[in-house]
Every structure is written in C-alpha cells, then in structure tokens.
A and B are shown apart, each in its own frame.
Chain A
Amino acid sequence: KQEVTQIPAALSVPEGENLVLNCSFTDSAIYNLQWFRQDPGKGLTSLLLIQSSQREQTSGRLNASLDKSSGRSTLYIAASQPGDSATYLCAPTYSGAGSYQLTFGKGTKLSVIP
C-alpha cells in the first residue's frame, strides 16, 4: 500500500521567509503528483500538478519539484505571506481500478506570522 509522508507536520515562520515543505512516497510508480492547500474547515485548492516526466513546476511564488526515482517532492514558497497560512497536502496519483487515484499525506500546517 502506498504511503505518503509529509515533513514537517507543522511549521511557523515570520512573514517574508522562503520555506520548503517536503513530501515522500513509498511507491515511485506514480502517474503525476498534486500539491493542494486546505484552509481550516474548507475544501482543497489545487496549487500545482507535476507530471511524472517533469522535474519542476512553477506558479507565482510556488515551485514544486519531483524526484520520482527517490520518491520525493518538495514545495518551495518564496517570500511567505500571512495569507499563505493553511495546511499543504501532497498527493501522488496512481493508476487504480479504472481511474487514477490520489493518495494523500497528512499535510504540513503552515503559519506565517505577520
């Protein structure tokens, strides 16, 4: 069974800092990998999708990297802002029963202090 681990579980940084969130997965046979953010009590917002053939994907202040062979992905957030405070979830996609299925980590809870 695929397992996804996210480190750290929680992170508190002052506004303006650059930070890195880590994700590791046990089965490297992924189809792609998505990063999401979840605000308290809310649904998920898709941030970035990296295809298995890609090494990096960028969107604004966010940069996600993927090392499929070692089972790792990182999410880099530049110049953090209080509005970035949320839980960040990593979800590799695997081929399942007739569809592609996401497996989620427990997330990293980020607090950006003004």
Chain B
Amino acid sequence: SAVISQKPSRDICQRGTSLTIQCQVDSQVTMMFWYRQQPGQSLTLIATANQGSEATYESGFVIDKFPISRPNLTFSTLTVSNMSPEDSSIYLCSVEDGWSPNEQFFGPGTRLTVL
C-alpha cells in the first residue's frame, strides 16, 4: 500500500490565522481526499483533490475556507483559513491505491488546536 506522510503532525494556532497542511505520497495516485475529525466525532469528507482541476467539495465545506491544491499525482495541500476554535480537529488525507482499487489508505493526520 501507498505510504502517506503529513506535515505538520500537530500545531497550535491563533484565531484568525491560516494553516496549510501538506500530504505527500510515495507513489503516484489518482484520487486524494481530505477529511476532518472533530473531537469525539467520526470522519467527515471535506473534498476530493483533483489533479489539474479544482477540488470537489462536500456539502457544508467551501473553497474560501478550505482551499486545496493538487499540483501533481503525489502531493496535495489543504489550507484552513481564518481559523476559529471550531476548526480544532484532526485533518487527514487519504488516497486510493492503484493496486487495490477503491481501497483507501490514510495518512497519520494533523492535529490542529485553535486558541
């Protein structure tokens, strides 16, 4: 399976600032996804990161708040903009591995705390 890394692993940020999270995969993958896990909750899909085009956002998530880049088949970034304490969550990226179609593998996550 693909090996996925995320940076930073955790961060503490001030209200009103922005944080960019990086996701790096050790092989080329077609599909990359970004999820949010709020405290005590399960995972919610934010968006699908498309290479060469705009991300596809799920209901309740907008590009101005969560801009996503996907410059190539091994890398993506998620920015959390104008943060508030409600944005405190674990943010995870995942990929579909071409060796096992439609099976998703997850990165280690980024734990964000907004003060």
Q: Which A residues are within 8 Å of any B CB, using their own CB?
A: 31-32, 34, 36, 41-46, 49, 89, 91, 93, 96-102, 104-107
Also in contact, A34 and B104, with CB within 8 A (given A41-B111, A102-B45, A107-B42): yes
Task: Tell me which of B42, B50, B107 contacts A105 (CB under 8 A).
Answer: B42
Residues of B within 8 A of A31 (CB): 102
Chain A residues, CB < 8 A from B111:
41
Known: A41-B90, A41-B111. A104 touches B42 (CB 8 A): yes
Contacts of A107 in B (CB 8 A): 42
A-B contacts at CB below 8 angstroms, number: 60
Does chain A have a CB within 8 A of B103? Answer: yes
Chain B residues with CB below 8 A from A98, complex form: 48, 50, 56
B108 and chain A: residue at smallest CB distance: A43
- State the CA gap A73–B111 with chains docked (Å): 30
Provide the main secondary structure of the chain B interface: strand
Q: How far is the CB of A17 from chain B (nearest CB, A)?
A: 25
Which residues on B are within 8 Å of A, measured CB to CB?
Answer: 1, 4, 6, 31, 33, 41-45, 48, 50, 56, 90, 92, 94, 96, 100, 102-109, 111
Interchain CB contact under 8 A, B105 and A99: no
A99 & B31 in contact (Cβ 8 Å cutoff): yes
Cα–Cα distance between A42 and B107 once the two chains are bound (Å): 9
CA A41 – CA B6 in complex, angstroms?
Answer: 14
Q: Chain B CB within 10 Å — which of A42, A91, A97, A107 has the most? A: A42
Docked CA distance A93–B33 (Å): 14
* A89: nearest chain-B partner, CB-CB: B42
